[in-house]
C-alpha cells in the first residue's frame, strides 16, 4: 500500500441492495478495518434503502469503530459515487450551494454525507476506487487490464500484489454486505 510515515488504517467497504430500484428492498453493507496484523470485520443491513446509502453506511460504520483520531486512513471502495465525492470534494460545492447540486436539485443522501464529512477533519484520508466483483480465479478475467485501470483510477504507485489484496478485500466486504442482507431478509426469501 502507499508509503506513509504512520502505519495506516486500511478500510475496505462495500454496499449492496437486493431490489435497489424497488420501493421495498433489502440492503446490506460490509466493512473491513486493517491496522497492521489486526483485522476487524463489520456488517449490517437495512430495509427499503439504496445501494448508495449502503456504500456510505459501510464507511460510516468503519470510521465509527476507530478508537482515536489523527489516523492515516486509506479507504478502498468500489463505489465511484462515494470515492469520487470524497476524493474530488464534490461536497464543497454542495455546501456552498445550500446542499443543492449543479442542477439545483437537493443532494441525495445529505444526512449520510453530513455524517461522513464530520470525520474528515479528524483523520488524514486517501480514497481509492477498486473494481468490484472481480473473480480472481477466473481465466476469463484479464487481471492485467483490471490492474492498469486500478492504477489509472488511483494515481498512486500500487504494486500488483497491493491490487490483488485490495480486490480480495473488496470481495470479502461484498460478502459481508450480503450477510447483512440475509440477516434482515425474511427467512423464506433467503432459501
Report the 10 Å Cβ neighbour count for 75.
25
Q: Is there a contact between 90 and 107 (Cβ–Cβ < 8 Å)?
A: no
- What average pLDDT score do residues 115-133 get? 96
pLDDT in tens, 38-90: 999 999 999 999 999 999 999 999 999 999 999 999 999 999 999 999 999 99
What is the CATH number that goes with domain 9-185?
A: 3.30.420.10
pLDDT in tens, 59-69: 999 999 999 99
In this prediction, residue 189 carries a pLDDT of: 64
Considering the entire predicted model, what is its pTM?
A: 0.92
Q: How far apart are CA 126 and CA 158, in angstroms?
A: 13
Q: Is there a contact between 136 and 143 (Cβ–Cβ < 8 Å)?
A: yes
Whether the per-residue pLDDT at 105 is higher than 60: the answer is: yes
> If we measure between CA atoms, which residue out of 3, 28, 26, 2 comes closest to residue 13?
28
Number of Cα atoms under 13 Å in the Cβ half of residue 42: 22
Whether the per-residue pLDDT at 4 is higher than 80: the answer is: no
Spans of all domains in the chain: 9-185
pLDDT band for position 156 (cuts 50, 70, 90): confident
| DSSP labels, 119-158 | TGGGSEEEEEE--SS--TT-TTS-HHHHHHHHHHHH-S--
pLDDT band for position 188 (cuts 50, 70, 90): low
Q: How far apart are CA 166 and CA 41, in angstroms?
A: 15
| Residues in the chain, overall count | 191
Amino acid at each position: 500500500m502507499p508509503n506513509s510515515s504512520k502505519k495506516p488504517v486500511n478500510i475496505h467497504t462495500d454496499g449492496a441492495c437486493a431490489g435497489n430500484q424497488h420501493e421495498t428492498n433489502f440492503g446490506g453493507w460490509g466493512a473491513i478495518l486493517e491496522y497492521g496484523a489486526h483485522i476487524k470485520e463489520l456488517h449490517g443491513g437495512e430495509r427499503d434503502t439504496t445501494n448508495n446509502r449502503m456504500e456510505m453506511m459501510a464507511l460510516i460504520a468503519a470510521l465509527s469503530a476507530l478508537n482515536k483520531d489523527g489516523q492515516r486512513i486509506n479507504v478502498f471502495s468500489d463505489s465511484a459515487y462515494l470515492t469520487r465525492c470524497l476524493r474530488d470534494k464534490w461536497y464543497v460545492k454542495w455546501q456552498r450551494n445550500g446542499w443543492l447540486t449543479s442542477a439545483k436539485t437537493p443532494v441525495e443522501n445529505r444526512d449520510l454525507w453530513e455524517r461522513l464529512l464530520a470525520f474528515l477533519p479528524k483523520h488524514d484520508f486517501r480514497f481509492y476506487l477498486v473494481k468490484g466483483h472481480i473473480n480472481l480465479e477466473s481465466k476469463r478475467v484479464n487481471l492485467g487490464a483490471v490492474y492498469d485501470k486500478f492504477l489509472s483510477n488511483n494515481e498512486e504507485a500500487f504494486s500488483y500484489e497491493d491490487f490483488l489484496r485490495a480486490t480480495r478485500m473488496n470481495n470479502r466486504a461484498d460478502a459481508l454486505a450480503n450477510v447483512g442482507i440475509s440477516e434482515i431478509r425474511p427467512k423464506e426469501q433467503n432459501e
